[in-house]
Structure 1
Amino acid sequence: MYRSGHYGVALLAYAPVLYVLGSLGRVVAAGAGLALVLALTPLPDADHDVPLISHRGVTHTLLFAGVVGALVGGAAWLLTGPAGLALAPDQAVEVTVGAGGFAAFAILAHLLADALTPMGVAALWPVSSKRYSLGLTPADSTVWNVGLFALGVFATAAAVVSSTPLA
C-alpha cells in the first residue's frame, strides 16, 4: 500500500476512537491521538531505508507494534512522570498509556493496510513466518489508495461532526 492508502486506513480505523473520545469530551486526547497515529503510521516502511532489513519483515509485525508502543509510552512517562513535567500520577499514567496505545495502534493500522495486498504481512513473526493477506488489491493501485484515503477523511469528518455537541 502507498502512503495515501496507509493514511486512509489509519483514519478509517481511528474514526471510532475519535468519535468515542470526542463524545466523552476528551477533545485534546482525541486530537493528540490522531496526530500520533498519523505521525507513526508510515514508520514500518522506514525499512526501505535500513540496510539488512527486508521490506515487510520485522517492522511489519505485532512485535514491532508492541516495541513502538512501549518506547513511545516510555518516552511519554519520562516527559510527564516524576522526572519530567511531574503531572499528577493519574494524569501521567493516562498520558503514558494513551501515547503507547496510540503508537501501537498506528503500526497495527499500517499492518492492516498491507494485509489488503497480495504480499500481506508476517504479523506473527518470530513465532510464525506465515503471511496474512486478504489479497484485495495490489499495493500500487491508485483507485484503492486514493479511495481508502477519501473514505478515511470522510469517516474522520463524520466522527468529528457527530461527536460534537450542537449547542
Structure 2
Amino acid sequence: MFRPGHYGVALVLYAPVGGWLLALGHLTAAVAGGAGVLWLTMLPDWDSRLPFVSHRGPTHTLPFAALVGGVAWAVTTAVTAAIGPAIGVGDYAVGPVSVPTFAAGVGTLSVLAHLAADLLTPMGVAVLWPVSSRRYTLSMTTADNTVWNYALFALGIFTTAVTAYLGAKLLAAGTV
C-alpha cells in the first residue's frame, strides 16, 4: 500500500480511540494520538533505507509492533521521569492513561495499522516472523492501486469525522 492507503487504515483503526477520548473530554489527547499514529504509520517502510533488511521483512511483523510500543514506553518513561521533578509535576497523564502507556499504544497501533494495510496486497506480510516466514494476505488490491489508496484514505477521513461527531455528542450529553 502507498502512503494515502496507510494513512487511511491508520485513521480507521485510531478513530474509535480518538472518539472515546473525545467523549471523555480529552480533546488534546484525541488529536495528539491521531497525529502520532499518522506520524508513525509509515515507520515499517523505513526498511527500504536499511542495508541488508528486505522490504516487508522484520519491520512488518508483530514483534516489530511490540518493539515500537516498548521503545515508545521506555523513552516517554525516561523523559517524564527526568522533567517531572524539574517542573514540579510527578505524574503525567494523557487522558485516562499515563503518558508512557499512551505512547506505547500509539506506537503499537501505528505499526499494526501499517501491517493491516499491507495485508490487503498480494505480497502480504509475514506477521509472525521469526516464528514463521509464512506470508498472510487478503490479496484484495495491489499496493500501487490509486483508487484503493485514495478510497482507504477517504474511508479514514469519514470514519474519523463520524467518531469525532459521536464523541462530541456523547461529551455534550454527559453519558460517558
Which residue does 2:101 correspond to in 1? 97
Which one of the candidate residues 143, 151, 165 is aligned to 1:161? 165
Amino acid at match of 1:41: T
Deviation string for 1:98-125 (max 9, x for gaps)?
Answer: 1011101000000000000011000010
Q: Does the aligned pair in 1 maintain the 2:84–2:90 contact within 8 Å?
A: no
Structure 1 window deviating more from structure 2 (20-29 vs 102-111): it is 20-29
Alignment-mate amino acid for residue 90 of structure 2: A
Q: Does 1:67 align with 2:67?
A: yes
Query: What secondary structure is seen at the aligned counterpart in 1 of 2:103?
Result: helix
The structure 2 residue matched to 1:119, chosen from 123, 128, 139, is 123
Provide TM-score, normalisation by structure 1.
0.93
2:87 aligned with 1:88: no
Identity across the alignment (%) = 52
Gaps of 5+ in 1: none
Matched residue, 2:10: 10
The Cα shift of 1:88 comes to 2.9
Q: Deviations 1:100-154 (Å, cap 9, x if unpaired)?
A: 1110100000000000001100001001111110111011101100000011011
Kindly indicate whether the alpha-carbon contact (under 8 Å) linking 2:19 and 2:166 is maintained by their aligned counterparts in 1: yes
1:13-43: CA deviations, max 9, x gaps? Answer: 1111111111111222211111110110000
Contact 2:84 2:91 in 1 (8 A): no
Of 108, 114, 118, 2:112 maps to 108
Separation in 2, partners of 1:3, 1:67: 22
The 8 Å contact of residues 73 and 103 in structure 2, kept in 1 or not, is answered as: yes
Contact 2:56 2:125 (8 Å CA) reproduced: yes
Give the secondary-structure state (helix, strand or coil) at the position aligned to 2:98.
Answer: helix
CA contact (8 A) 2:69 2:107 kept: yes
RMSD (Å) for aligned C-alpha atoms: 1.6
Q: Secondary structure at the match of 2:17?
A: helix
CA distance in structure 2 between the partners assigned to 1:11 and 1:42 by the alignment: 13
Residue 19 of structure 1 pairs with residue 19 of structure 2: yes
TM-score with structure 2 setting the length: 0.89
The offset of 1:162, in angstroms, is 1.7
- The CA distance in 2 between the partners of 1:88 and 1:127, in whole Å, is 41
Q: Distance in 2 between matches of 1:62 and 1:116?
A: 16
